[in-house]
Homo-oligomer: A and B are copies of this chain.
Amino acid sequence: MPRASLSRETVVGLALRVVDEEGPAALTLSAVAARAGVATPSLYKHVRNLAELRELLSAHVMGEISARIGDAVLGRSGDEALHALMTAWRSYVRTHPGRYAAMIQSPQPGLAEAGERLLDVMFAALRSYGLTDSESVHAVRCLRSAVHGFVLLEAAGAFGLPESLDDTYELLTRMITAGLHAPRP
């Protein structure tokens, strides 16, 4: 086996640096190849095509988020766990806005596993609320929607007014936690 200077993982790592430093729109095979010091077609030895690279990158990012929020939730329960989860999620996106924006949302086969892990962490964080399975599904969806919407808009710079975004996020957190104490009407 010859020159193994590159690997699938290295390529994904370089792709992450591209989106971190130049934004999601800059993610091209050319850009990654340039960073790898390699001709563009050489990348096809490691990833099937650009679409697969995007998928691998998305799975990686989902994995990082799961790990972060999983850590944050450890040893906590109830509102405290929820608060920690939401804070950790937002904090990750603030650190890597391009990375988060580059993440694919539509259901791809390669993302199923990473997506499930992320859901698992969220379900676990809600466990102490004592919800039924079905209530938990609705609760996780609401949590995910609210956090995803907020961090996406924040990362895009879509909140123009001068009011504190920390305060807004506090309010959002309270809306979610309060809503979880009475998930049915």
A residues within 8 Å of B by Cβ?
A: 105-107, 115, 134, 137-139, 141-142, 144-150, 152-153, 156-161, 163, 165, 167-168, 170-172, 174-176, 178-179, 183, 185
Contacts and interface: CB of A to CB of B under 8 A. Distances in A.
Given A158-B106, A158-B107, A146 B172 contact: yes
A69 to B, nearest CB: 16
Interface centre among A150, A156, A171, A175 (most CB of B within 10 A): A175
A138 B171 contact: yes
A105 B152 CA distance: 9
Nearest to A116: B160
Contact of A175 (B148, B153, B179): B179
Contacts of A138: 163, 167-168, 171
A137 B171 CA distance: 11
Contact of A145 (B149, B167, B170): B149
A153 B163 contact: no
A144 B178 CA distance: 18
A153 B144 contact: yes
Contacts of A146: 142, 145-146, 149, 172, 175
B152 A148 contact: yes
Contacts of A152: 105, 148-149, 152
Given A134-B163, A142-B168, A149-B150, 6 more contacts: A106-B158, A141-B150, A145-B172, A146-B146, A171-B179, A179-B179
21 contacts: A105-B153, A105-B156, A105-B158, A106-B156, A107-B156, A107-B157, A137-B163, A137-B168, A138-B171, A141-B163, A142-B168, A144-B153, A145-B150, A146-B175, A147-B149, A149-B149, A171-B179, A174-B179, A175-B178, A175-B179, A178-B178
